[in-house]
Amino acid sequence: METTAKKTPLYDTHLELDAKMVEFAGYIMPAWYPTGIVKEHLAVRNSAGIFDLTHMGEFFVKGQRAFDFVQHITCNDVRKVGNGGVQYTLFPTPEGGVVDDLLVYQINPEHYMMVVNAVNIEKDWEWVSKHNDFGVELKNSSDKYSLIAVQGPKCENVLSDAGFNGVAYDHPFTFRRMKRDGKRVYLCVTGYTGERGFELIVQNSIAPALWRDLMKAGEKHEITPAGLGARDTLRLEAGMCLYGHELDDTTSVVEANLSWTIGWDKEFLGKDVLLRQRENGTERLLFGLTAEKKYGSPRPGAKVFVEGAEAGVVTSGSYSPSLDRNIAFCYLPPEACEEGRELSVEVRKKQVPATATKPPFVKHRLFEHQH
């Protein structure tokens, strides 16, 4: 594969596993393994899957005014986080668009980590640097860290058997720092699948050994390596946005139905536009639709029709292995965002019947206790 794309520290591991490798966001990543996307997907829903997500970016923010800086540049309210807490949030633009969605980790009020989308690392780095009027120290450590995710109902067993102590999935959106092989590990109770799960952010040098340990420990728990394909179908079922599809610099946090991430009683970049949208409404909202399996799945850009008239557009669509039907995210007029409403959607140049469906398509199991 002749390319300038970067290889993750797990590249050789994926080749040994016969992964189908593709270029994605400047990295060569596994799209799927010989098991295939559907089996990888169902392993995450029923037992455990392991993902290489090293392409994600890690920024560190440090300094006396680190809290003020993060409050200013993100829409969610960092006061809700606390040390060892993680928050889903977005970088809104002053015009009402979205630079990226991300996770913010509070190490302490003067020290934060941000995990940003692979495709936006350079753009996000320019954005945070440009808006640093707070004298904080910013560090882009994206090339120094690997990210391995273990997701699924048996994730705790896998981590415990791999030698992690006191692993309990009782507090989603928290993390702790620990040592493994003498190196720092961020053990995060986070994920992008709607399942119980963990993400381990580690220095590159220990990633291959950690992957091997987790695979070995996971054998009896039916752990399955999973690629970008299954990651996409899982996040879509869980109703989670993907930047470049549901979100971009022309889409607002309110339109994307993410108003729950907005800290309305704090000041932040772009707040005035979002306030106006909250008061006056928007012309479109992000919603979902489902269609029978026999029709084939709607693709991004497909038109959505209400009572025969073109009314919206699909942003992501896929076959759902959990539901055995086709699902899609789409932007629709607010009045059409009604559970059960009859729609039609373009599939292979034909209009096929569909039903408006409020995401998530598959109920989240983040907070369910393991039996």
pLDDT of residue 371: 35
Tens of pLDDT, residues 172-225: 999 999 999 899 999 999 999 999 999 999 999 999 999 999 999 999 999 999
Q: Which CATH architecture has domain 283-357?
A: Beta Barrel (2.40)
Separation CA 41–CA 237 (nearest Å): 10
pLDDT of residue 167: 86
In this structure, what are the phi and psi dihedrals at residue 149, rounded to the nearest 5 degrees? -110, 135
As a 3-state breakdown, the chain gives helix, strand, coil percent values, each rounded to 5, of: 25, 35, 40
Q: Who contacts 157 (Cβ-Cβ below 8 Å, separation ≥6)?
A: 48, 221
Mean pLDDT of 142-152: 98
Separation CA 233–CA 229 (nearest Å): 7
Distance of CA 291 to CAs 38, 133, 298, 314, Å? 18, 49, 9, 13
Residue 78 near residue 104, CB atoms below 8 Å: yes
Separation CA 182–CA 209 (nearest Å): 13
pTM: 0.96
pLDDT of residue 196: 95
Tens of pLDDT, residues 312-364: 999 999 999 999 999 999 999 999 999 999 999 999 999 999 999 999 999 99
pLDDT of residue 368: 61
Tens of pLDDT, residues 210-264: 999 999 999 999 999 999 999 999 999 999 999 999 999 999 999 999 999 999 9
pLDDT of residue 2: 61
> Which residue, among 284, 303, 338, has the nearest Cα to 96 in the 3D structure?
284
Average pLDDT over the chain reads 96
Helix (H) or strand (E) holding 235: helix 228-237
Q: Which two tokens stand for residue 47?
A: 């037992």
Residue 10 near residue 207, CB atoms below 8 Å: yes
Tens of pLDDT, residues 91-146: 999 999 999 999 999 999 999 999 999 999 999 999 999 999 999 999 999 999 99
Ranges in the chain annotated CATH 3.30.70.1400: 58-140
**What SS3 state is found at 15?**
helix
First to last CA, the chain: 45
Ranges in the chain annotated CATH 2.40.30.110: 283-357
pLDDT of residue 367: 62
Distance of CA 79 to CAs 75, 89, 161, 231, 371, Å? 12, 13, 35, 31, 34
Q: Who contacts 280 (Cβ-Cβ below 8 Å, separation ≥6)?
A: none
Superfamily for domain range 6-55+143-237: Probable tRNA modification gtpase trme; domain 1 (3.30.1360.120)
Separation CA 169–CA 180 (nearest Å): 20
Of 74-83, 113-122, 165-174, the poorest mean pLDDT is in 165-174
> Quick one: fold of 58-140?
Alpha-Beta Plaits (3.30.70)
Radius of gyration of the chain, Cα coordinates, nearest whole angstrom: 20
Mean pLDDT of 278-282: 97
Backbone region of residue 278 per phi and psi (left: phi > 0; alpha: psi in -120 to 50; beta: other values): alpha
Tens of pLDDT, residues 25-61: 999 999 999 999 999 999 999 999 999 999 999 999 9
